[in-house]
Amino acid sequence: MTREHVDVLVVGAGLSGIGAACRLRRESPQRSLAVLESRAAIGGTWDLFRYPGVRSDSDMYTLGYSFRPWTSPQAIADGPSIRRYVEDTAREFGVDRLVRYGHRVVRAEFSTAEGRWSVEVERTTEDGTETVELTCGFLFSCTGYYRYDHGYEPELPGRDRFTGTVVHPQHWPADLVTAGRRVVVVGSGATAVTIVPAVAGEAEHVTMLQRSPSWMLSLSRRDALADRLRGRLPEKVVYPLVRWKNIAAATATFQLSRRAPGFVRRLLRERVAAQLPTGYDVDRDFVPSYDPWDQRLCFVPGGELFKAVRAGKASVVTGAIDTFTETGIRLASGEELPADVVVTATGLDLLFLGGIRLAVDGRDVDPAACVVYKGMMLSGVPNLAFALGYTNASWTLKVDLVSEHVVRLLKLMQRRGHDVVTAAEPPTPERSPLIDLAAGYVRRSQDQLPKQGSTTPWLLHQNYPRDVLLLRHRSPADVGLTFSRAAAAAPAGDREPATTGAGGARG
C-alpha cells in the first residue's frame, strides 16, 4: 500500500490547530502540510458546544491569534462569532483547503531509523469507516484536552425516575425548549454561569444548583481601551496594545492571588456582594473554601448572572443532591427543586492527545510515564509536539507561543540537516502534576497525564512573560534536546546524535 507523506501533520482543526497550521503555512510555506479533523467542521470547541449563551471565558484580544487581530467591538465573544473567526482565519491563510474532515488518528509509531511517524487514521465515509495510513516527519497534536464524544456526568441517584429532560451542555439538542419551563442547572463552573442568565429571560425560573461555590468576577463585554483607540489608530496598533494590557492585568491578578490570597478573597467577595440583593447570604453561595485561582476564576460578562438573581428570574442553591424525583431534585437538606429540564453542567472528561496511542521503534509509550518539555514535548518521544494552553490565562497565548517555537525548531533542524529531535528527562527526580488546579476534572484524570519536572525547561511556569523569553527568544536548540539524522538518510560517519547539553548546542 502506498502511503502518503507530508512534512508536518497537524491533528485537530479547532482554535489551536488552525492557528498552528496558519503559522506553519505563513512561515514555512515550503513544507508540505495536512490537517486532520475527526469531526465534519472547523472550530473544535466552538463548533461542538451549542448551548445557550456559549461564549469565551477569556477576552478575544488574548484568545485571538497574535498574527490576526480580533476586530469586533465585543471583547467577550459568543461561540458563533469565535467559530467564524477561526473559519475566516483558515480561509485567509489557505489552511481550509488542507483540512481533511472525518479523519481520526488512532495510533502513531515513530521510526528512529527512518526519522518519520507512521500514522494510522480512521476515515469516515458514506459506507462507514476505513483505515488509512499517512507518514510525516513531524506530528503536532492540537486536539485540546477533553473528550469530544461525551462530557463528565457523575452518578445521579434516581435519575431514571425523573419525567423531564436531562441534558449535558456538551451535547445540547437543537430542539430543546426552555421557554416557560423550570430549569435546574447542576454545576458552578463557567458553563453553568453562562447558561443560567442565557435561559433566565425565557424560562419560568432557573436554579443554579451547586455542591460548593466558585469564585466569580464581573467583566465588561467590551474593552474600554480598545473602544477609545479604535478609529484613532490602525487596528494593527490597537490590537497588540490591548492584548498586552490584558496580559499584564491577568498576570497581575494571578500573581496577587498567589501572594495575597486573603486580600483577593475579600476583594472578590465585596464585588459580588455589591451586585446581589441586600441581605443576601453571600458567604453561603459565592465564597468558596479554596483560594482564588486554586481553581479557575469564573467571569460573569456584564454581571448578567447577578442581574438575573436580582430580578428573581434565577436563584443559586448550595447543597448536595439526595435523589432525583419524578418532578425534580430533592436535596440532602430535604428541600425540593421542581424542574422540567435539568442541565448537568458537571464538567469534562480529560483526554490527552485526543487518545492517540503512541509507540517509538516498536515500544508502546505511556504519556503518563513521560515528563513534559517546555510544555510542548514528551520526554523520549521524538518529533512530536502538542498544544496545551494556560489554565490561568487565555488558552491561545500559550498555544501561539508553542506554534511559533515549533516553526523555529523545524527551521533549525532543516538548516543543520537533522531529521530527529528528542527531549530528555529532567536531571532531577522530582515530579509534579502537569496541571496545577484543584478542579475536579483535573483531579479525576491526573494519573493519565504526563508530569512536569522541577526545573526549566521541564517546569511549567503558567506565566506568559516568562514563556515569551523561553519559547520566543531562547534558542530552540536548548538544554535537554538531542538532535540526530535518521540512519536511513545519514551518510556513513554522520549518524551520531548532536546533543544539546548545559553548555548549549553542539553539532
- The predicted-structure confidence for 279-333, as pLDDT tens digits, reads as follows 999 999 999 999 999 888 999 999 999 999 999 999 999 999 999 999 999 999 9
- What pLDDT, in 10s, does the model give residues 183-233? 999 999 999 999 999 999 899 999 999 999 999 999 999 999 999 998 899
Nearest to 218 by CA among 315, 311, 281, 309: 309
Arithmetic mean of pLDDT, 398-425: 96
Q: Report pLDDT for 489.
A: 59
Whole-angstrom distance, CA of residue 454 vs CA of residue 434: 11
Stretch 503-507: mean pLDDT: 32
Cα–Cα separations (whole angstroms), residue 406 to 10, 386, 479: 12, 10, 16
The distance of Cα 341 from the centroid of its chain, to the nearest Å, equals 28
**Per-residue pLDDT for 416 more than 90?**
yes
Q: How confident is the model at residue 507 (pLDDT cuts 50, 70, 90)?
A: very low
Q: What confidence category does residue 245 fall into, taking pLDDT thresholds of 50, 70 and 90? A: very high
* Mean pLDDT in residue range 374-399: 94
**Reduced to 3 states, what is the DSSP secondary structure of residue 96?**
helix
Q: Taking Cα atoms as reference points, which of 325, 486, 483 lies closest to residue 412?
A: 483
CA distance 307 to 314: 9
Written as one letter, the residue type at 165 is T
What CA–CA distance (Å, rounded) separates 295 from 291? 8
Helix (H/G/I), strand (E/B), else coil: 219: strand
What pLDDT is stored for residue 497 in this prediction? Answer: 38
| Model pLDDT for residues 53-112, shown as the tens digit of each residue | 999 989 999 999 999 999 999 999 999 999 999 999 999 999 999 999 999 999 999 999
> In the chain, what are the domains?
4-148+349-499 (3.50.50.60), 159-343 (3.50.50.60)
Q: Is the pLDDT of residue 439 over 80?
A: no
Which amino acid does the sequence have at 411?
K
Checking DSSP bridges between strand 363-365 and strand 216-219, what pairing results, if any? unpaired
- Counting every residue written for the chain, the total comes to 507
The CA-based angle 207-212-213, given to 5 degrees, is: 75
In 3D space, the residue among 12, 9, 24 whose CA is nearest the CA of residue 133 turns out to be 9
| Helix orientation angle between 395-416 and 15-27, rounded to the nearest 10 degrees | 30
C-alpha dist (Å) from residue 462 to 19, 327, 437, 477:
20, 45, 11, 22
Is residue 117 within 8 Å of residue 9, measured between CB atoms? yes
H-type alpha helices, 423-486: 440-443, 464-467
CA distances from 36 to 98, 137, 243, 492 (A): 8, 15, 30, 36
> Cα–Cα distance between 433 and 451 in angstroms, integer?
5
Q: What is the distance between the alpha carbons of residues 402 and 382, in angstroms, rounded to a whole number? A: 16
Distances, alpha carbon 148 to alpha carbons 143, 144, 175, 390, in Å = 10, 9, 21, 20
What CA–CA distance (Å, rounded) separates 329 from 290? 27
Residue 149's pLDDT is 84
Check pLDDT > 60 for residue 276: yes
Average pLDDT in the 353-374 region? 96
